[in-house]
Amino acid sequence: EFDVSAPWLNRMLERKPKLFVKAVDDVSFSIPRGSCFSIVGESGCGKSTVARLVTGLYSTSGGQITFGRGDAGRPVRVQMIFQDPQSSLNPRWRVGDIIAEPIREMKLRKTADETRDRVEELLRIVGLAADDATKYPHEFSGGQRQRISIARALASEPELLVCDEPTSALDVSVQAQILNLMRRLQLELGLTYLFISHDLSVVRHMSDMIAVMYLGRIVEMAPAEKLFTDPQHPYSKLLLGTIPDIHVPNRDREVQNGEPPSPLSPPTGCAFHPRCPLATERCSKEAPQLRAAGRSMVSCHAVQKGLATIPARRQD
Ligand code: SF4
Ligand code: MG
Q: Considering every ligand atom, which ligand is closest to the CA of 42?
A: 2
Q: Give the start-to-end residue ranges of the domains of the chain.
A: 85-157, 231-314
Q: Using 50 as the pLDDT threshold, list the residues of the chain that sit under it.
A: 1-21, 243-254, 310-316
Q: What is the pLDDT of residue 29?
A: 82
What ipTM, to 2 d.p.? 0.95
| Residue ID of nearest Cα to ligand 1 atom 7 | 273
Pocket perturbation via mutation, ligand 1, pick of 212, 237, 238, 276 by most ligand atoms within 8 A of CB: 276
User: Could you tell me if 142 and 85 are in contact, meaning their C-beta atoms sit under 8 angstroms apart?
Assistant: yes
Q: Which atom of ligand 1 is nearest to the CA of 282?
A: 2
Question: Which ligand has the nearest atom to the CA of 303?
Answer: 1
Single out the residue of 212, 159, 185, 170 nearest to residue 83, CA to CA.
170
**Closest C-alpha to ligand 1, atom 5:** 300
| Amino acid, res. 266 | P
Report the atom number in ligand 1 closest to the C-alpha of 301. Answer: 5
pLDDT of residue 250: 40
Single-letter code of the amino acid located at 252: D
pLDDT at 23: 58
How far are the Cα atoms of 26, 59, 66, 67, 128 from residue 8, in angstroms, in the given order? 7, 9, 14, 17, 40
Q: Which ligand is nearest the CA of 285, by number?
A: 1
| Contacts (Cβ under 8 Å, ≥6 apart) of 157 | 71, 77, 108
CB burial readout 240-249, b (16+ within 10 A) else e: bebbbeeebe
Ligand 1 centre from 261 Cα, in Å?
A: 15
Residues with CB under 6 A from ligand 1: 233-234, 270, 272-273, 276, 278-279, 283, 288, 300-302
Alpha helices in 60-171 (DSSP H): 85-88, 95-105, 112-125, 142-155
Give the pLDDT score at 221: 93
